[in-house]
Chain A
Amino acid sequence: MLTYLPKRIGQGLLTVFLTVSVVFLLIRMAPGDPAASFAGPLATNEQLAAVREQFGLDKPLLQQYVIFIGQLFTGHLGQSYSFQAPAVQVVMDRLPYTLTLATSSILLAALVAIPLGMWMARRSDTDAELGVNVLTIAGQSMPDFWTGIMLLTGFSVLIPLFPASGFTTWGGLVLPTITVAILQIALVSRMVKREMVTNFNAPYLNIARSRGVSERVLTWKYALGNAGIPVFTALGTRFAAMLNGVVVVEVVFGWPGVGSLIVRALETRDYPLIQATVLITALLAVVVQLLIDLAYPLLDPRVRLGKAASA
């Protein structure tokens, strides 16, 4: 544990550093000119040159990179071109919205997928289970922008129950949450089912049955206690992935989160904003993943950190 934690933190920081470095390079290789999109189509060459100088884009690439590395250590990644505010601050303002959507989605997914998966395991190979299985495959196959638009059409336009866009009331959270959760429910419920069936058929469960342990305890404590371990990891990893912004869903619902922010930053070639978004979401993903790994030995006594967990 004493060597594990510093090692993992080091690995995490390296991951973040490589990610932001690659992004730094890629956005500068991609076509498009930040100065042009900032100064507008009618700008003269002199005006463009002035903007480039203002943003420091006239300097050689290597020098820009050195400046960027320096900025990483101060935590100030420069002014966003389009917001005219510190880029980090712009991202931090949007982050709570993404956190809200990710948390509500993962909670909904867990609350539906775990009971559903357990039900599917109990009714394994019946017609009802087959029907639900088909539904989960459908849920997995529907692209989220399409699900989102269908939900908008149904419950915001035809039956105006929820707002169509933005997050001004809690009702605005409902449709984006469902849209994000559908795919997760489809994937996680089938995983829960598979894990539960494996544990229902495990020798230790039948032997516990032979010593009079009730079916209720066998299902909840024995089977779910074992099946829950990989399911917890899967939910945690999915949550970490959502923190990078659920880009398509955020755009469909006009959700003011990090996902829609990065789309706007890319459209305007807002380099500092892109870099700040990538840095913060990568840091978050690494931290959440580390927390999941640290929680793992609490769930599974067979795992010792530094040996099996890092493998």
Chain B
Amino acid sequence: MKYQDTAVLEVSNFTVELMTDNGIFKAVNNVSFRIGHGETVTIIGESGSGKSTTAMGLLQLLPQGLAALSGQVKIKGEDVLSNPKAIAKFRGRGLALIPQDPMTALNPVATIGSQLREAIKVAGRITVKQQMQSKAVELLEQVRIPRVEEQLKKFPHQLSGGMLQRVLIAIALASEPELLVADEPTSALDVTVQAGILDLLLELQQTRGISVLMITHDIGVARLVSDTIHVMKSGKFIESGPAAQIVDAPAEEYTRALLSAVPRLGEWDETSMVAKGAS
């Protein structure tokens, strides 16, 4: 919540209309929010609420011709929606995406090293080949991948989902990100791996002052990482506010339902299970 005056991302009246077989469907309906410098903003909602469509729409990664975007999206003060070429300036240079499923996010026939070097090249700060290699090593070390030199020569199918997500975070870091869009970065991963990835994201965000747009359906994740939470349902924000307020004192019934959907550890009540089974 520092530097509130310089918004890294400012979204007003953002709407995404998808062309489907059953006509036009408003997946995102008139959404407005801003992300300040170093701030983490979370959009939370159930499947189909439009949260991922919002993220992909902001990045203009929805299939062209099938998605109509309207409203205003400003990245560091520049409107990237009115000028379709503007987004290309930011992609890989200050703007990065961490995808939902790391297993399908990398080119299967190129090595980790070559894809990392490609991202370093796009970022444009390093032009000498030798330095790209040492930068790649440095980035993988920052995301705490063991035996870096060895991993660089590997292909995506030779790494686990958790390791691949670390590689994708390293690729995102190559762009020297000011704005990081994390589209359910842990939902495709094993539960035991999720915490490690979240810790890494939090640490990088805090040490580098990166602004983050986090998309999740997991209220635990949202509470852990966010400054601000927007609760999304059917393409609209139904409740917004500071993280603590949304989690501890939700105003909307839907938010309370989301909160109560989190399984809690407690005493195992066998009698109720038996009763349910019998009825």
- Where the two chains meet, the residues of A that have a C-beta atom closer than 8 Å to any C-beta of B are 201-204, 206-213, 221-222, 225-226, 229, 299-302
Q: Does B126 contact A (CB under 8 A)?
A: no
> A209 touching B107 by the CB < 8 A rule?
no
A213-B92, A226-B109, A301-B155 known; A207 vs B118 contact (CB < 8 Å): no
> B171 touching A203 by the CB < 8 A rule?
no
List the B residue with the shortest CB-CB distance to A200: B63
Q: How far is the CA of A201 from the CA of B91 in the complex (A)?
A: 19
> A209 touching B155 by the CB < 8 A rule?
no
List the A residue with the shortest CB-CB distance to B88: A212
> B175 touching A211 by the CB < 8 A rule?
yes
Q: How far is the CA of A222 from the CA of B111 in the complex (A)?
A: 12
> B107 touching A212 by the CB < 8 A rule?
no
- Where the two chains meet, the residues of B that have a C-beta atom closer than 8 Å to any C-beta of A are 59, 61, 63, 88, 91-93, 96-97, 99, 101, 104-111, 115, 118-119, 122-123, 155, 157, 168, 171-172, 175
Contacts of A203 in B (CB 8 A): 99, 101, 104-105
Q: How far is the CA of A226 from the CA of B101 in the complex (A)?
A: 19
B122: which of A212, A300, A301 is its contact (CB, 8 Å)?
A212
* Chief secondary structure at chain A's binding surface: helix
A302: which of B92, B157, B168, B171 is its contact (CB, 8 Å)?
B157
A213: which of B105, B118, B168 is its contact (CB, 8 Å)?
B118
Q: How far is the CA of A229 from the CA of B172 in the complex (A)?
A: 29
Q: How far is the CA of A299 from the CA of B122 in the complex (A)?
A: 25
> B109 touching A301 by the CB < 8 A rule?
yes
> A209 touching B96 by the CB < 8 A rule?
no
Q: How far is the CA of A210 from the CA of B58 in the complex (A)?
A: 11
B61: which of A209, A225, A302 is its contact (CB, 8 Å)?
A209
> B105 touching A212 by the CB < 8 A rule?
no
> B157 touching A212 by the CB < 8 A rule?
no
A212: which of B92, B99, B109, B155 is its contact (CB, 8 Å)?
B92
> B108 touching A209 by the CB < 8 A rule?
no
B111 to chain A, nearest CB (A): 8
A301-B155, A302-B155, A302-B157 known; A210 vs B107 contact (CB < 8 Å): no
